[in-house]
Amino acid sequence: MKNKVSVIGAGRVGATAAQYIAEDELADVVMVDIVEGLPQGKSLDLLEAGPIRGFDSILSGSNDYKDTANSDIVVIAAGLARKPGMSREELLMKNSEIIKSITDKVVKESPNCIIIVVSNPLDVMTYLCWKLSGFSPKRVLGMAGTLDSARFRAFVAKELNVSVKDTQALVLGGHGDSMVPLPRYCTVCGIPITELIPKKRIDSIVERTRKAGGEIVDYLKTGSAYYSPGACAAEMVEVILKDKKRLLPCAAYLNGEYGLKDVYVGVPVILGASGAERIVEVDLTKEEKNALHASAEIVKKNIAKLGECV
């Protein structure tokens, strides 16, 4: 029996995630959107690419959540995208209503699924989705840490003129300007970048990682990133469906880990068939821990703004 993944939101991020999932033959994919014809047209277009790209995954589009029934994983990529000058937090109230409506329908049709949230502001939307779903926090994850770390890796690879395959990185905290990239845990073939790159350049790369999403928004003017978020969502889908037990930075629920409670932020997580199977606590310096707590506090303040929604 084939796996089934539903992608909610047929915009650029959702459609790109669906494309990667289908091309890697991870599952059959159902795309859902409120705009009539949009998910149907994009899914048909992707399906017709199958003979050229060599994949046999079946894609379909719908405006009805009944077609998502019994999904193994649901990727939520719906919501308003950031515009130039707009912070992720400014999206809070608008996207919270969208997430609320989606979560209710997803849970009704796929009560045993794992949910991956991509919508911004990501940590807050993941918390809201978890609260409304009634699921174990292990089954509700946010994509951001994977994306932030991928961006860090890309910038390091470019700086050193090495393959991205040889880079590893770790970014903690909320998905925003307060995120905490950790150069001590960023390596090239096991060699810490602190031994390969001057501190001034590392500081510049760290800052660019924090601002990476906004950099793309400024270039695009009328949209935000979608290739990299789509790829990261697809990677998480693969790791879960194949029970790979990979260690990836994801937005996960903390209940005492890192001295934090009742909040979703990016931390290292062992991902497997049941979702977030274990949170890994790495040693942090006092400065790094303070930065993580400050980032989590921003997420908590935004959660508090949701009021009755949670």
Q: Which of 12, 42, 175, 210 is catalytic?
A: 175
Q: What are phi and psi of 226, to 5 degrees?
A: -145, -30
Residue predicted with more confidence, 91 or 302: 302
pLDDT attached to residue 308:
62
For residue 149, give the nearest of 65, 210, 197, 226 by alpha carbon: 210
Statement: residue 3 has pLDDT above 80: yes
Identify the pLDDT of residue 191: 97
The pLDDT score that the predictor gives to residue 173 is 96
Classify domain 4-144 by CATH number. Answer: 3.40.50.720
Average pLDDT (40-57) is: 98
Q: What are phi and psi of 230, to 5 degrees?
A: -65, -40
Q: What local confidence, expressed as pLDDT, does residue 282 receive?
A: 96
Q: Where are the domains of the chain?
A: 4-144, 145-309
Annotation marks residue 293 as catalytic = no
Is the pLDDT assigned to residue 42 strictly greater than 60? yes
Q: Residue 276 — very low, low, confident or very high, per pLDDT cuts 50/70/90? A: very high
d(CA 131, CA 261): 14
Q: What share of the chain is helix, strand, coil (3-state, %, to 5)?
A: 50, 20, 30
The CATH number of 145-309 is 3.90.110.10
Interacting residues of 84 by C-beta distance below 8 A, sequence separation 6+: 217, 218, 221
Q: Is the pLDDT of residue 143 over 60?
A: yes
**In the structure, what pLDDT confidence band is assigned to residue 88 with cuts at 50, 70 and 90?**
low
Q: Which helix (H) or strand (E) holds 248?
A: strand 246-255
Q: Which of 48-62, 67-81, 88-102, 163-177 has the lowest mean pLDDT?
A: 88-102
Q: What is the distance between the alpha carbons of residues 280 and 269, in angstroms, rounded to a whole number?
A: 6
- pLDDT above 90 (res 249): yes
Answer whether residue 234 shows pLDDT above 60: yes
Residues contacting residue 301 through CB under 8 Å, at least 6 positions apart: none
Sign (positive/negative) of CA torsion 130, 153, 177, 203? positive
Residue 89 predicted with pLDDT over 80: no
Dihedrals φ, ψ of 294, to 5°? -65, -40
Contact 176, 120 (CB under 8 A): no
pTM assigned to the model: 0.95
pLDDT at 92: 85
Q: Has residue 70 got a pLDDT over 90?
A: yes
Closest CA to 282 of 268, 296, 266, 264: 268
**Whole-number percent of the chain with pLDDT over 90:** 89
User: Residue 206: its pLDDT value, please?
Assistant: 97
Please enumerate in sequence order all residues whose Cβ is within 8 A of that of 299, keeping only pairs 6 or more positions apart, or say none: 123, 124, 127, 174, 263, 264, 265
Common-topology check for domains 4-144 and 145-309: no
Average pLDDT for 129-146: 96
Task: Compute the mean pLDDT over every residue in the chain, rounded to the nearest whole number.
Answer: 95
